[in-house]
Amino acid sequence: MATSSVLYNPLPVPQSTKKRSPSIARAPREIVLNPPHTSSSGQAARLAKSLLNLLHLHVEAPPGTEDLRFSRQVSSRDIDEKYSAPTKSPKEVICNKWREIHGSSDWENLLDPLHPGLRREIIKYGEFAQATYDAFDFDSFSEYCGSCRYNKRKLFDELGLNQNGYEVAEYIYAMSHVEIPRWLERSQVADTWSKDSNWIGYVAHSDDEETRRIGRRDILVAWRGTVAPSEWYEDFQRELEPIGNKDGHHARVERGFLSIYTSRSESTRYNKSSASEQAMSEIRKLVNLYRDRGEEVSLTITGHSLGGALALLNAHEASSAIPNLPTSVITFGAPRVGNSAFRDELRGNGVKTLRVVVKQDLVPKMPGLVFNESLDRFDEHITGALEWVYTHVGAELKLDVQSSPFLKHGFNLLGFHMMETYLHLVDGFLSTRSNFRADAKRDVALVNKACDMLVDELRVPHSWHQLAHKGLVCNEHGRWVKPRRDPEDIPSPIGVGHKQNFCC
Amino acid sequence: MATSSVLYNPLPVPQSTKKRSPSIARAPREIVLNPPHTSSSGQAARLAKSLLNLLHLHVEAPPGTEDLRFSRQVSSRDIDEKYSAPTKSPKEVICNKWREIHGSSDWENLLDPLHPGLRREIIKYGEFAQATYDAFDFDSFSEYCGSCRYNKRKLFDELGLNQNGYEVAEYIYAMSHVEIPRWLERSQVADTWSKDSNWIGYVAHSDDEETRRIGRRDILVAWRGTVAPSEWYEDFQRELEPIGNKDGHHARVERGFLSIYTSRSESTRYNKSSASEQAMSEIRKLVNLYRDRGEEVSLTITGHSLGGALALLNAHEASSAIPNLPTSVITFGAPRVGNSAFRDELRGNGVKTLRVVVKQDLVPKMPGLVFNESLDRFDEHITGALEWVYTHVGAELKLDVQSSPFLKHGFNLLGFHMMETYLHLVDGFLSTRSNFRADAKRDVALVNKACDMLVDELRVPHSWHQLAHKGLVCNEHGRWVKPRRDPEDIPSPIGVGHKQNFCC
């Protein structure tokens, strides 16, 4: 069937959100704890479970704003128009203002209202972070569980991200010496590609066309988030470890994050070098390559959830090691990572950090949730000196689930934290005083990929991002079997060619 | 990727099951309550929930047999051979023995050991019953929720059942005037194809080639099971209603089953006539058609779970209405339906009933679970006279989950009842004294379509029978939307042409 005739789940007319009627009774704020779905994304289920553990700590009650539900009178013409609308805003040339958009002035006057060029870049980097989930193999019956399902040359093509104008240079793998609850996705199969490591992200760079548009060669590092570390709060909240090499420094970061970032072992196949070493080696290579060509080079590091924490560690290291490299970090729903000295060193190194945060999301409040919230009443200089206080860094773009008429507003631990929810809310954000952007172009259905956040009227199934038959196919003999992974998509350690028979 | 190179989840070597070592320690019998999966089959989830309610009534402890787990040393050659093996036994011509296979001698001496020709027929009819699940639209966001996803000309083709040699003549729809908990799958969409009716089965007939092989024109009726009626037990256990037209008869059947079978309403689109009337009308038409051609005609009615109950009601009516029509019923995991007078009338009408029952499945013990089990101690003549006692009819083929080395043996309410579990066990059944059939050909992976019954070593994901992205597709504008159903697959009431704009 041609997919051009698809007109099924009608989208609401965004304009109707402007006509808020004060007479609409406020819907009761239902507390909905999404059950962990057994979707293709085991990550989502674990995340939900993990987040549920947090409940005893802190639940932010949604403020009493009026209900923004849209009218459901949508004509089929509205639907036609909506479905044939492009999902991207036109690309704007930003070669003359890239430094501001990259944070040179700490995004002053760019966030509220949100500069359209900046919005587009935030979504671009956010999609690069989302790619680390979409391509991850969560199938515990797969011998490749914990790897990327596609090789680096195919990644963006498979995920429809080619139009963003970047090319993947290298994959990054991570392990951890610290016993971290449930962060590693492990295959149940004996002959697995790796017993210790997971794919944790990638290094990419802008292609020539995108480089012309954005005014410099942009090196990108995207870090994958893992399950939200509710246990970390209890296990590691006081376990800050020193980072960096400076004499007499006080910069300390959360022990679990640091372990994932720096662990390596000679007995492994994918982490003979650490995630840190793999990322830094590739960043250095690309910086040297393009600087030798006389190009201007920037570094942008992104990540969602734990990936945001790793992004900050990576930025700290890169900015310390490579002088004069404009370095920005864009995190989504990231937890606090280190103490105020860590924040100060990032600042001192010139790292520009934009934290995108959904107000209702609990993860950015971790770790140190309780301590920091109560210490807000004290003078910052006092609390900043306490080494065990985790501190957020950089500028903040604060989003509100209640701003979107497409989203359910009932309490939803998982949904509030999902990267696709973040992307949707960035796409619709104009300013803290405005309604959801009427001409927001991103496909709303994406929000429900791995959660249940869209209002039922949209008729988008929840957690719909799943493989047909969980990857089984019917062979010519009528038997349902799992195809071997294409040899070119079998992971191979950095610097080693493709091998089908791996030992580890 | 070519599916010929699929060699992933190794199947065990069936031969190894013959070498049971008495020294193998018996695995502890773990009680596993499968959580209701949110698979594509909402039916499975509801069934699990429904079955769970039964737990307080009766749980049969698995008997202490030795563990049949196979050795996991499987060579890739074994796997190659297994995966390229045909999934069907060769078709045997049974034109001279069809009456025995159809039950003329009450399957005496055909069940233990199981006659190979009969096994093949049981699986054929079981697959016709399974088809009613595989093609059912469970999607509550679909306007066609509760209908068949394919039109009658495509059904067997879509499900890979063409080689069984039958053609669908007509679909059957059902409604119920009695409020029956959770039996009707209903769309959440306002403009749904039907607010009252569900697709409940179909009438088919053998094609010319199959007719030659099996010695007569076989008219087939397959009834879809609905969620297991745990509530019915409590609600309707004493509510037997009279059936049939005989003077002074005492035949009574369970009220809920009868309501689904006989309800109709002029204000509906699909049940202006009842399921009973639709089925009988088509049966009569086909019987007359082929008898007029001078052909020998038989009627075979099949169904799983509640579908088995409807099959018995249908057989009772057909055998009363159409003289001299050899009529057989093959039910799978069906509950008790009526009293002993109902059974006697079926017998008197010459209906031959084969009940396939998995020993560990609870559904065949419903309703009347407690009453009948305890009354077994009394003389049959006494209990048979009590009208409220539900009675099983016909011959029984009893299967045992423990006979299969492919299945988990831990308690699994849902898995024990699933039609695919039945088909697997029939395929492997030789006799009550034999091990699982070494040359069983059915694809073992099918068992896990909507449950979690296969041993982990097989690496078959649980509940894998799901649509890619729950039916959403990405259109040319990059938007994820649900395609409109192909107009030819939109349900239309019997006798009415295809209409896209329905009113109801």
pLDDT confidence band for B43 (50 / 70 / 90):
low
Among residues A93, A107, A65, A36, which one has the least CA distance to residue A413? A36
Beta-bridge mates of residue B299: B219, B327
pLDDT number for residue B141: 86
Q: What is the model's pLDDT at position A46? A: 53
How far is residue A360's CA from residue A480's CA, in Å, rounded to a whole number? 43
Tell how strand B217-223 and strand B297-304 pair up: parallel
pLDDT band at B309 (very low <50, low <70, confident <90, very high): very high
pLDDT of residue B224: 95
pLDDT-based confidence at residue B65 (cuts at 50, 70, 90): very low
Question: Bigger pLDDT: A4 or A48?
Answer: A48
Q: Which residue has the higher pLDDT, B389 or B192?
A: B192
In this structure, of A151-155, B136-140, B160-164, the range with the lowest mean pLDDT score is: B136-140
Highest mean pLDDT pick, A145-149, A183-187, A243-247, B10-14: A145-149
ipTM for the assembly: 0.76
**Per-residue model confidence as pLDDT tens digits over B96-124:** 999 999 999 999 999 999 999 999 999 99
pLDDT in tens, B160-204: 999 999 999 999 999 988 877 667 788 888 788 998 999 999 999
DSSP state of A387: T
- On whether any CB of chain B is under 8 Å from the CB of A182, the answer is no
Q: What is the CATH number of domain A3-489?
A: 3.40.50.1820
* Angle subtended by helix axes A306-321 and A255-262, to nearest 10: 60
With beta carbons less than 8 A apart as the criterion, state whether A465 and B472 touch.
no
Contact (CB<8Å) B3/A476: yes
Q: To the nearest whole percent, how much of chain A has pLDDT over 90?
A: 54
Can you tell me the mean pLDDT for A313-327?
96
Averaged pLDDT for residues B82-96: 78
pLDDT above 60 (res B285) = yes
CA angle A94, A98, A104 (to 5 degrees): 155
The predicted pLDDT at position A185 comes to 83
Total residues belonging to chain B: 504
Q: In chain A, what are the domain boundaries?
A: 3-489
Banded pLDDT at B494 (limits 50, 70, 90): low
pLDDT for position A70: 41
Q: What are B354's two structure tokens?
A: 């084969």
Give dist(CA B420, CA B275) in Å, integer: 25
Residue A440 C-alpha from the chain's centroid:
20
Can you spell out the DSSP letters for A282-324?
A: HHHHHHHHHHHTT--EEEEEEEETHHHHHHHHHHHHHHHHSTT
Quote the minimal CA–CA distance from B166 to chain A in Å: 19
Among A391-395, A458-462, B220-224, the range scoring the smallest mean pLDDT is A391-395
B361 a catalytic residue: yes
Residues A295, A220 contacting (CB under 8 angstroms): no
Q: What confidence tens digit (pLDDT) does each residue in A66-97 have?
A: 333 443 334 445 555 666 677 776 788 999 99
To probe the interface with B, which of A80, A420, A475 has the most B CB atoms within 10 Å? A475
Confidence class for position B503, pLDDT limits 50, 70, 90: very low
Q: What is the pLDDT of residue B249?
A: 61
* A328 among known catalytic residues: no
Domain covering B27-489, topology: Rossmann fold (3.40.50)
Calculate what percentage of chain A has a pLDDT beyond 70: 71
Answer with the residue of higher pLDDT: B384 or B460: B460
Checking if the pLDDT of A384 tops 70, the result is no
B449 confidence band (pLDDT: 50, 70, 90): very high
Residue B64 CB coordination number (10 Å):
8
The reported pLDDT for the residue numbered B372 is 44
Rounded to an integer, what distance in angstroms lies between the CA atom of residue B238 and that of residue A379? 74
Report in angstroms the alpha-carbon separations of B93 from B248, B301, B325: 45, 21, 22
Nearest residue on chain A to B487, alpha-carbon basis: A1
Whether B305 is catalytic is yes
Interface mutation vs chain B, best among A7, A137, A480, most B CBs within 10 Å:
A480
Whether the pLDDT of residue A448 is over 80: the answer is yes
Q: Which residues of A touch B482 (CB under 8 A)?
A: 6, 8-9, 459
The pLDDT, as a whole number, for residue B21 is 35
User: B35 pLDDT exceeds 50?
Assistant: no
